[in-house]
Amino acid sequence: MSSPGPGPDRPRREVLAAASTRLREAGVASPEHDADALLAHALGTTRGRLVLVDRVGGPALAAYDALVARRASREPLQHLTGTAAFRHVELAVGPGVFVPRPETELLAGWAVDAARAVLAQGREPVVVDLCTGSGAIARALADEVPDARVHAVELDEGAHAWAERNLSGTGVELRRGDMATAFEDLRGTVDVISCNPPYVPLEAWESVAPEARDHDPHLALFSGDDGLDAMRVLAVRAAQLLRPGGVVGAEHADVQGQSAPAVFVAAGRWADVRDHTDLAGRARFTTARLAR
């Protein structure tokens, strides 16, 4: 992977093997997957169709070399391809917005189920996604529960621009603002609230992966000394926005499986507070129901 420009064609397997080795040595968590994804991007094809490519050369190989070098420096894969898959939709992402993680799909799935449960009661669900970031959860809700009225809010100017792009034409009402004060006009009428707030403790700076620490907006990452400042705001604001019996779900760090639910218990307004694990068995998000 050292050729700086067009050169002789090289076998696809050889090109991918060299790239995977380089990414692995750089500490990338999924070197083979990322090598495949970047080559597909450089060739303008899909990972599934790479098997049809025998050799790589010329401008495509030079472009691939450059992409692999950037990924080896721990630039996020999604920034290099410009897209991130999330449940059944594809999002545009890049510098200035938090890249949606696969584990957040579980929270989105919970919100989809909660909205469908309201629909089954014969009512149009009113759903709010706080700290929407790229608009991932709101976009998934609009895609999977088209009869819901979905609202979303984002404070950061750069992230809001990405959300605007991803939610255009979906029917989602997007606002720019602070989750602590947003949607005063919906007070007491919301059925479902989803939120992927910042939850990294300030002291955990060094433990954050370079892809997130160096490229995601810090507003989307860090939340006070214990990482729960935003969760405390959410517990208050959700209680104001939800109708009695409405539900809230919020993602948290895997080490916050007890402390995050405790925020809602301490608020005194919530019933059915419980935590949920991801597919690896790690604590991942908390849900609660506003007491009637």
Of 91, 78, 90, residue with least CA distance to 134: 91
The pLDDT of 265-283, averaged and rounded, is 94
Confidence (pLDDT) at 1: 43
The pLDDT of 129-134, averaged and rounded, is 95
Tokens representing residue 20 in the block: 């995977």
Distance of CA 129 to the CA centre of its chain: 12
| Statement: residue 207 has pLDDT above 80 | no
Confidence (pLDDT) at 222: 46
Q: Which residues are annotated as a binding site for substrate?
A: 196-199
> pLDDT of 36-79, one tens digit each?
999 998 998 888 898 888 899 888 999 999 999 998 988 888 88
| Statement: residue 111 has pLDDT above 60 | yes
Confidence of residue 7 (pLDDT cuts 50, 70, 90): low
The pLDDT of 199-212, averaged and rounded, is 53
Confidence of residue 3 (pLDDT cuts 50, 70, 90): very low
Signed CA dihedral, 69, 73, 78, 80: sign only: negative
Confidence (pLDDT) at 284: 94
Q: Which residues are annotated as a binding site?
A: 154, 196-199
Confidence (pLDDT) at 205: 43
The pLDDT of 269-273, averaged and rounded, is 96
With a pLDDT cut of 70, the percent of the chain lying above it is 88
Q: What is the DSSP letter of 256?
A: G
Confidence of residue 175 (pLDDT cuts 50, 70, 90): very high
The answer to whether the beta carbons of residues 99 and 78 sit under 8 Å apart is yes
Q: What is the pTM of this model?
A: 0.82
The pLDDT of 92-121, averaged and rounded, is 93
Q: Which residues are annotated as a binding site for S-adenosyl-L-methionine?
A: 154, 196
51: left (phi over 0), alpha (psi -120 to 50) or beta: alpha
Q: What is the overall mean pLDDT for the chain? A: 88
Confidence (pLDDT) at 199: 65
Residue for token digits 């208050």? 236
Confidence (pLDDT) at 225: 61
Confidence (pLDDT) at 210: 56
Alpha helices by DSSP H, listed for the chain, are 12-25, 31-43, 58-72, 77-81, 104-120, 136-144, 157-167, 210-213, 229-241, 259-267
